[in-house]
Amino acid sequence: MRIELPGTDLEVHPLCLGGNVFGWSANEDESFEVLDDYTAAGGNFIDTADSYMWRVPGNKGGDSERILGDWMTARGNRDDIVLATKVGSWPEQPGLSKKNIATAVEGSLRRLRTDHIDLYYAHRDDPDTPVEETVTAFDELVKAGKVRHVAASNYSAARLTEALDFAEANGLAGFKAVQPHYNLMERDYEQDLAPLLAERGLSCLPYFALAKGFLTGKYSADTKVESVRAEGALEYLDDRGRKVLTALDEVAGNHGVSQAAVALAWLSAHPTVSTPIASARTREQLSGLLPMADLTLSTDEIAQLTSASAIAG
């Protein structure tokens, strides 16, 4: 099964595999195993960033990109992969100035061992750089063939509108997709960004689609989970979080799939969402995510999950 990202020629698997764990909680061998299983199941869409994972002791940034580059070279499958990476958040190459974008893309291409990036994101807005400069810099990369399409992550609706309007008015390559923080526990996206994306025909590709692992259902106050994300996931374990987990468990039981697959399918059911992004540290974790590609929730099930995750008041 493939989904066409609106406004592009990219056809992708319903699950985008997040690369933030590669070189962090998954070493190179474990990363290769997950990547092999993902592609064996029909997956072709992989998301990374130049900044992954510079904060980890012993890493320096670009680690995920290097692992992906080594894997694609070893497998000889670059042409089969829709590859997304990002610029702007790495302290060694921060911001979205024309100079930084031009320098950063060369580093990403080198680490990924490829001559082009399929989807290149502004990782986060840079308020110190005019959107005109950023959009023009991205357009130059598209014209040079180094990037096929551009996208934005962590932008406000106002700044996104400004960038889209400038690109359209000047015939430049504009953002075709947006990557916001969006899941059953984080629903601010629905307020301003979702209507804008619907109006402008852009794809939503949510990150942290499983709320740092909380929506896998493995976290509780009485269970110790060995994960680098455990502390962040447990922040969701309040009355609202328990209601969401209960609803996920019930719907997952109806379909014989994991709670994670249901959480991803709920996202996919949103009209603006093309493919949610989720990472897997192990092959076993990945196997729990993959059923989302064929999972269709009923209207009642979507309503049940939406109601459980509503913020009181």
Domain boundaries, the chain: 3-179
Closest CA to 134 of 144, 145, 147, 125: 125
pLDDT at 218: 82
Burial class of 71 by CB neighbour count within 10 A (0 to 12, 13 to 18, 19+): buried
Q: HEC states along 47-85?
A: ECCCCCCCCCCCCCCCHHHHHHHHHHHHHCCHHHCEEEE
User: Tokens 């009181």 — which residue?
Assistant: 312
- CATH superfamily to which 3-179 belongs: NADP-dependent oxidoreductase domain (3.20.20.100)
Q: Considering only CA atoms, which of 217, 249, 248, 247 is closest in space to residue 234?
A: 217
- Return the ∠ at Cα 65 (arms to 60 and 69), rounded to 5°: 130
Q: What is the model's pLDDT at position 224?
A: 54
Query: What is the residue whose two structure tokens read 């996920």?
Result: 248
The predicted pLDDT at position 228 comes to: 53
pLDDT of residue 54: 83
- Segment 247-271 shows an average pLDDT of 98
Residue 234 confidence (pLDDT): 82
Main-chain dihedrals φ then ψ at residue 77, nearest 5 degrees: -120, 20
Confidence category of residue 222, pLDDT binned at 50, 70, 90:
low
Res 313: pLDDT: 59
Write the pLDDT tens digit of every residue in 135-146: 999 999 999 999
In whole angstroms, give the CA distance from residue 102 to residue 87. 10
Per-residue model confidence (pLDDT) at position 220 = 62
What's the pLDDT at 203? Answer: 97
Set 52, 155, 182, 207: catalytic member: 52
Q: How far apart are CA 184 and CA 169, in angstroms?
A: 36
Q: Give residue 129's pLDDT.
A: 98
CB under 8 A, 24+ apart: contacts of 294-297: 294/1, 295/255, 295/257, 295/261, 295/262, 295/264, 295/265, 296/265, 297/251, 297/262, 297/265, 297/266, 297/269
Residue 170's pLDDT band, with cuts at 50, 70 and 90, is: very high
Reported pTM = 0.94
Question: Residue 260: pLDDT above 90?
Answer: yes
Instruction: Give residue-wise pLDDT tens across range 63-77.
Output: 999 999 999 999 999
52 noted as active-site residue: yes
DSSP letter assigned to residue 227:
-
Residue 58 pLDDT: 78
Backbone phi, then psi, for 36, in 5-degree steps? -65, -45
Q: Do residues 289 and 282 touch, judged by C-beta distance below 8 A?
A: no
- The residue among 111, 40, 36, 119 whose CA lies nearest residue 70 is 111
List beta partners, residue 11.
4
Confidence of residue 56 (pLDDT cuts 50, 70, 90): confident
Indicate the pLDDT class of residue 185, thresholds 50, 70 and 90: very high
- Of the candidates 210, 181, 180, the residue with the CA atom closest to the CA atom of residue 288: 210
In this structure, what token pair is assigned to residue 98? Answer: 């024309």
d(CA 50, CA 58): 16
CA–CA dist 290, 38 (Å, integer): 8
CA 191, CA 196: separation in Å to the nearest integer?
Answer: 9
Contact 38, 70 (CB under 8 A): no
| Cβ-contact 96, 134 below 8 angstroms | yes
- Given a cut of 90, is residue 211 above it in pLDDT? yes
If pLDDT is split at 50, 70 and 90, which confidence band does 219 have?
Answer: confident
Q: What is the pLDDT of residue 230?
A: 57
The tokens of 153 are what? 């992550």
Task: Over range 148-159, report the average pLDDT.
Answer: 98
